[in-house]
Structure 1
Amino acid sequence: MTADVQTGPAHAVPAPTTTRWHEVCAYEDLLPERGACALLEGIQVAIFRTFDGELFALSNFDPFSGAYVIARGILGTRGGTPTVASPMYKQVFDLRTGRCLDDTEVALPTFGVRRTPAGRVEVAL
């Protein structure tokens, strides 16, 4: 199956030409091993905090089901790679690259994410 690798359906907002950081929440608001979703400039971003405290951000759009559900996915690892499994059809995505490990022709867009010295989480678009 070949799926669209955009941030969502064809009507999605085009990629901006400059990077802008958006404050999303407090780091402590993100529960380890759970996802959260933020709407930034019309783009749904799934944000994850792993058990060891790492942050990841990728598109919330599941290209296999067409639903915005990645933030509800199950975190895990495959061969040492941090992953999220879609809650719909269970395709597994690399949290670092967005690449689908079950179908290498598909990838989710990823976004820069950081924790500020003040303990806030910011996502770059």
Structure 2
Amino acid sequence: MNYKPITIDLSYLYSLAGGDKSFEQILLIGAVEDVNIKVSGLKDSWYVRDAEGIRKNAHSLISLSAIAGMPEVEGWSRTIDQVFADGEFHPELEILAQNIIAGWPAAKSALNRVIEAN
């Protein structure tokens, strides 16, 4: 399967931090750690077709991915969150979940490079 890559745009993070580099670091480190947990939860929930778990992890990823500068993940997560609100499993959204799961390792590496550079 061909997954869409995740681009990084940290403009929202920069606007939140208002030029405070140490606050940027704190926000980004926390967001990367939390995204990692939520992507793992999304993967595990998808595997067992747990609609509630999928929605919970996707919902958390909306704000976390905004802070971490991943607009695609934010959009995909928002769609998953909205569609799974009915409590049913929606296999037709697998491509969105897999875009997040498959794209996260490269995005995490890119974000870790930003963290290390500061």
What interval of TM-score do these two structures reach, taking the shorter chain for normalisation?
A: under 0.3
Taking structure 1 as the reference length, what is the TM-score of the superposition? 0.26
Structure number with greater Rg is: 2
Structure with bigger RCO (C-alpha 8 Å, 6+ apart): 2
**Higher strand share goes to which structure?**
1
Taking structure 2 as the reference length, what is the TM-score of the superposition? 0.26
**Higher helix share goes to which structure?**
2
